Structure 1
Amino acid sequence: MTHFMFATGIENSAPTIGENRERVDEMAKCGHYAHWRRDLELVTELGIPFLRYGPPLHTSFTAPGRYDWSFADETFAELRRLRITPIVDLCHFGVPDWLGDFQNPDFPELFAAYAGAFARRFPWVQLYTPVNEMFVCAMFSGKYGWWNERLRTDRGFVTALKHLVKANVLAMHAILAARPDAIFIQSESSEYFHAETPASAELAGFLNDVRFLSLDLNYGHRVDSEMYEYLLGNGMTREEYRFFLMHNLKHHCIMGNDYYATNEHRVTADGTWKFCGEVFGYALITQQYFDRYGLPVMHTETNLWQGESGQEAVNWLYKEWANLTRLRQNGVPIVGFTWYSLTDQVDWDTALCEQSGRVNPLGLFDLERNIRPVGEAYRQLIRDWREVLPMQSAALTVPLARVDEGPAEGRRAPSLLAHPGPGKHA
């Protein structure tokens, strides 16, 4: 079965913030625990076949080797009944209190055991994002001082990054042991840093190398000498770096690129940087990532505030879709698109750093579960394109099983490597 993967998501973010390590549970803030049955019905009402979704890690992973699957059992049974294909998001910005934070060197192995246990309990699940936005999580936790360990150092960033990526790699291995034809969609932020002045050009160039580090390590792509010195100078050992070269599972992966108007940054002469809005846009930046890794691509996150007229988000939807179709016309194998998320979010405007309770009108539905104009537009877009895109996807076939099938005996996923771009590849 081959389909273009039209998707939405229900976010299970759960970082901790502040000196008291207060938990920010986005599923709770958005009312999903109370309305999960209705939320899953809304997915089907829009005709969306794929859903980025996962159980909350901080309540499901109760201790080493101990798991509470009660919520996942109910929700995943309903997903299967409704024939919604989940892209399972297992770790989204936070860990259970007993695990501490992303500086904990035990996190990768413990998380891999959790991922393997999930895959054995739900053997019909094929698509996974083991660790969401590893670059963003490491930056916000280890460099910006916003979440979890709340560090503001390069060493804090590198330590979080190596643990997050190792957790992702080990989780992929553990999942494949239970589901040999599993496919992994790395949802990662696609970033770009623009130099505001000649004085900031060197720093912008450095940051444009740093933005690739999570996927370089995850896909076993050799970094250049400057990045190698940066990693080793901030706590990564040669043995740790070699692990990523030797254990990557690139051929099981689809590269998920997330893009928002906040993904591009202007670097100033004083060494700081700030959001600068859309300058290059999704197509140009994603082309850079594709040229580097040569993998099929899914647009795994985007949204915009509805705005006063109600059309701002609709216009953004069609702008992102135009970027996606341009990439397809340029020969990039695009296999999916996601409006994120299903409902409005809460406190996204502060990057989940405050518990202000402010509703951000970003969803296909509001928090009363009323459809927004962008929800209507996305439903129509899917209707218009769902029968056309598979016939145009001659460059790549994604070997998906139906959610009511489960794994076939002896099934293995063929390589998902696309034709390589002009960049160097591992």
Structure 2
Amino acid sequence: MAAVLPLTGVIRPYAWGSQTSIAELQGRPVPSPTPEAELWLGAHPGDPSTVIGADGPVSLAALIASDPKGQLGAEVAGEFGVRLPYLMKVLAAGSPLSLQAHPDADYARRAFAAQEADPDAPKNYTDAHHKPEMLVALTPFEALCGFRDPGESAAALEALGIDRLVPVLEALRKGAPGLADAVRTLLTWPADDRAALIDEAVAAGTSALATRLASHYPGDPGVLVALLLHHVRLEPGEAIWMPAGNLHAYVEGTGIELMAASDNVLRGGLTPKRVDVDELLRVLRFEVLHDPILPATELVPGVVTWKVPVREFALYRIDLGPVTPPVRLPGEGPRIVLGTRGDVYVAEAVDGTPVEITAGTAAYVPADTGPATLAGVGQAFVAAVAS
């Protein structure tokens, strides 16, 4: 049986990241020298984590490739091949992220194959996989997530008092069938009028969100598209779910993000990165999302999960008090355990050497470790393949 292994992730320094959140979580001095946006925990080829084995440090991706059935389990390896099917992140948004969506599995396969076959095709896709994702807040967290009722969106735009937005208002008054036209009109607004349009929207003073977004992305029509989405405010422990085709953007806060192991992102605005409006419009689902909040389910006292309809991943949170006995890790197959508070220990269920996890540190539990337990006092999140 394989041992539980300490795991070290990679921090990505995107400009929108926080200079305090991840450093504070890990107990490092703040502010950090540069923004720290995402702590990646997994085997994604873009930034695989490192595990400490008997022979020293090794890439988790290389370890899995050397023994896929042992590391992933025969069932997971048979279904997903030589790859960990999920990617866990600590996401720390110090400023708003891009308006974005992700393709479904079938579209991702076809689009990536077409892109690879055509050297002149726009490089929108990094792989052939979909990227459904969820986020659980660690701090108060703001996000834009899914289309709200078009009537509410029309009222918000009408309050700006900008006559040339009438075509957008007319589209929204058709309800969900008009969402595609409204979004297309805004994202393809004439370039020579964008700055003036957003300046007028800010000057109207009726939308604090538009004013805030425009301060980061002046002249970006995504500022107005944002008004068509739910503005979600999460308390710690609350979650949101972003399935394929769901237009969303994180605004501010720190959370645990878990997703299928892909980096396919289609952007439409609120970003200095590459934007492809036409491709984004192809993958968007123009439907009203009635409730963006993902409810928690308590499995046993101290252990909760947030159920999502995908096979690649499941997320659990375990809270251990001073008198809590060791808890068997939920989930099957390969698991990653991330500490977020206190001092906890992961070990094989029978005579295993425990691996200590403090806030911001992690451990990897191979499939052939078998049952494992979590003990100590604190809190940890467990990523696993859904059963």
Query: Does the pair score TM above 0.5?
Result: no
Q: Which has the higher contact order (CA 8 A, sep 6+)?
A: 2
- Which structure shows the bigger proportion of residues in strand conformation? 2
TM-score, normalised with respect to structure 2 = 0.29
Q: Which has the larger radius of gyration?
A: 2
TM-score, normalised with respect to structure 1 = 0.27
